A and B are shown apart, each in its own frame.
Chain A
Amino acid sequence: MTTVPETAEAIAAIPRGGRSRVSLGFTAAAALGRFELQVCSQCEAVQYPPREACYQCLSERLVWKPQNGAGELLSRTVLHHSHDPYFGKRLPWHVGMVRLDCGPTVLAHLPAVAPKPPARVWVSARLDRAGQGVLVASETEDDVDLSNDCRLREMTSDPREANVLITDGRSAHSQAIVRALAAAGAGRIWVGMDYEGQVDQRRSASTFRAAVEAPEVLRELPQVTCLRLDVTDNGCVREAASAVASEIDILINTAQVRSLRSADLARAEMESHYFGLLNLAEHFAPAMGARAGPGQRLCPAWVNVLSLFALSCHPPWGTYSASMAAAHSFSQCLRAQLRETGARLVTVFPGPLEEGRSLGIPQSKLSPSALAGSIVDALRRGVEEVYPGEVAREWVEGVLDRRRVSDSGATVPR
Chain B
Amino acid sequence: MTGTDRRGYDDVAVTTPVTIPYVRYSPRGAHWFAASALAALLEQSGLEKKALDGLGFASFTAAPDNAVAMTQHLGLTVRWLDHIPMGGVSGIVALRRALRAVQSGDATVVACIGADTNRLDSFRSIVENFSQFSRDAVYPYGAGGANASFALLTDYYMRTFGARAEDFGKLCVAQRENARQFPYALLKKPLTLDEYLTARPIAEPLRLFDCVMPCAGAEAFLVMKRQRAIELGLAHAVVLGATECHNPFPDDPVQTRGGWALDRDELFAQAGVSRDDIDLVQTYDDYPVMSVLQLEDLGFCAKGEGPEFIRSHTFTTEGSFPINTSGGQLSAGQPGAAGGFLGITEALRQVTGTVLGARVRDARTALVSGFGMMVYDRGLCSGAAILTRGT
Contacts and interface: CB of A to CB of B under 8 A. Distances in A.
Interface of A: prevailing SS: mixed
B201 A75 contact: no
B137 A80 contact: no
Interface string A47-75: 01110000100000000000000000011
Contact of A74 (B139, B147, B151, B156): B156
B143 A82 contact: yes
A76 B254 CA distance: 12
A79 B159 contact: no
Interface stretch (B21-29, B67-75, B128-136, B182-190): B128-136
From B143, B153, B156, name the one whose CB has the most chain A CB atoms within 10 angstroms: B143
A81 B144 contact: yes
A17 B143 contact: yes
B137 A106 contact: yes
Contacts of A135: 141
A80 B138 contact: no
Given A74-B253, A80-B203, A134 B140 contact: yes
Interface in A93-130: 93, 95-97, 99, 105-109, 117-118, 128
Nearest to B145: A83
Interface in A113-172: 117-118, 128, 132, 134-135
Given A78-B204, A81-B147, A105-B253, A17 B140 contact: yes
Contact of A75 (B136, B137, B153): B153
A19 B142 contact: no
Given A17-B128, A76-B152, A97 B254 contact: yes
Contacts, number: 124
Given A17-B135, A76-B155, A95 B141 contact: yes
14 contacts: A23-B136, A49-B137, A55-B250, A75-B156, A75-B159, A79-B142, A79-B151, A79-B203, A80-B200, A82-B142, A97-B156, A107-B137, A128-B140, A135-B141
B145 A107 contact: no
Given A20-B135, A78-B203, A83-B128, A132 B142 contact: no
Contacts of A315: none
B215 interface: no
B254 A75 contact: yes
Nearest to B147: A81
Nearest to A90: B142
A82 to B, nearest CB: 5
Interface in A147-199: none
Interface in B206-261: 206, 250, 253-254
Contacts of A99: 253-254
A40 B274 CA distance: 46
A23 B200 CA distance: 36
A49 B201 contact: no
A87 interface: yes
Given A82-B144, A99-B254, A117-B156, 7 more contacts: A16-B128, A17-B140, A75-B156, A80-B201, A84-B143, A105-B377, A128-B140
A26 B141 CA distance: 15
Contacts of B361: none
Contact of B376 (A49, A76, A108): A49
A221 to B, nearest CB: 40
A363 interface: no
Given A82-B144, A84-B143, A107 B253 contact: no
